[in-house]
Structure 1
Amino acid sequence: MLDRNEGTQGAPVPGLYNLRSTGNWKAAGGIIAPGRLYRSDSPARLDAAGAAALGALGIDLIIDLRSIEEVESASYEFPGIRRTGIPVELLNPTAALTTERTLGDLYASFIDRCGPMIITALRTIAGHDQGAVLVHCTAGKDRTGIVVALALLAVGTPRAEVVRDYAATHANLSGAWTKIILDSLLIDAASLPSNVVEIVNGSPAPILEALLDRLDLEHGGAAGYLLSHGFDDDDLNALRARLVTTTAATSKGTS
Structure 2
Amino acid sequence: MNTLANLRDVASSVPGIRSGVLWRSDAPHEGDVTPEGHEPWPPALVVDLRDDGERSHGHPLASTTTVVAVPVFADAAIQAQAAGGTMRGLYARMLEADAAARFVEAVTLISESDGPALVHCSAGKDRTGVTVALALALIGVERRHIVEDYVLTTEAMPGVIARMSRQFGIGDGAANVAEIPEEVLRAPAYAIEQVLDTWDAHPGGVEAWWTQAGGASAVVTRLKERLLDG
Q: Conserved in 1, the CA contact under 8 Å of 2:34 and 2:41?
A: no
Q: TM-score, normalised by structure 1?
A: 0.78
RMSD across aligned positions (CA): 2.6
Counterpart position of 1:164: 148
Counterpart position of 2:4: 16
Counterpart position of 2:219: 235
Q: Conserved in 1, the CA contact under 8 Å of 2:50 and 2:70?
A: yes
2:99 is the alignment partner of 1:111:
no
CA drift at 1:67: 0.5
CA drift at 1:151: 0.1
1:39-118 paired onto structure 2 within 5 Å: 39-47=24-32, 49-50=33-34, 56-57=40-41, 59-73=43-57, 75-77=59-61, 79-89=63-73, 91-99=76-84, 101-112=85-96, 113-118=98-103
| Count, aligned residues | 225
2:160 is the alignment partner of 1:177:
yes
Q: Distance in 1 between matches of 2:180 and 2:106?
A: 28
CA drift at 1:80: 3.5
CA drift at 1:179: 3.0
* Structure 2 unmatched ranges of 5 or more: none
Q: Distance in 2 between matches of 1:59 and 1:217?
A: 35
**Using a 3 Å threshold, how does the CA distance of structure 1 residues 186 and 195 change in structure 2: closer, same or farther?**
closer
CA drift at 1:75: 3.1
Q: Distance in 1 between matches of 2:52 and 2:176?
A: 28
Counterpart position of 1:127: 112
Q: Conserved in 2, the CA contact under 8 Å of 1:35 and 1:57?
A: no
Q: Distance in 1 between matches of 2:41 and 2:10?
A: 13
Counterpart position of 2:139: 155
Deviations 1:215-254 (A, max 9, x none): 21134433222121121321211111121131xxxxxxxx
2:221 is the alignment partner of 1:221:
no
Q: Conserved in 2, the CA contact under 8 Å of 1:91 and 1:106?
A: no
SS at match of 2:67: strand
Q: Conserved in 2, the CA contact under 8 Å of 1:15 and 1:45?
A: no
SS at match of 2:225: helix
Which deviates more from structure 2 when the two are superposed, residues 211-220 or residues 38-47? 211-220
Q: Distance in 2 between matches of 1:192 and 1:22?
A: 29
Counterpart residue type for residue 41 of structure 1: D
Q: Distance in 2 between matches of 1:235 and 1:180?
A: 34
Q: Distance in 1 between matches of 2:207 and 2:40?
A: 32
**Using a 3 Å threshold, how does the CA distance of structure 1 residues 179 and 59 change in structure 2: closer, same or farther?**
closer
Q: Conserved in 2, the CA contact under 8 Å of 1:68 and 1:87?
A: yes
Specify which of 185, 188, 198 is matched with residue 183 of structure 2: 198
SS at match of 1:63: strand
CA drift at 1:55: 5.3
SS at match of 2:201: helix
**Using a 3 Å threshold, how does the CA distance of structure 1 residues 217 and 61 change in structure 2: closer, same or farther?**
same
* Structure 1 unmatched ranges of 5 or more: 1-12, 247-255
CA drift at 1:137: 0.5
Q: Distance in 2 between matches of 1:177 and 1:223?
A: 32
SS at match of 1:114: helix
Q: TM-score, normalised by structure 2?
A: 0.86
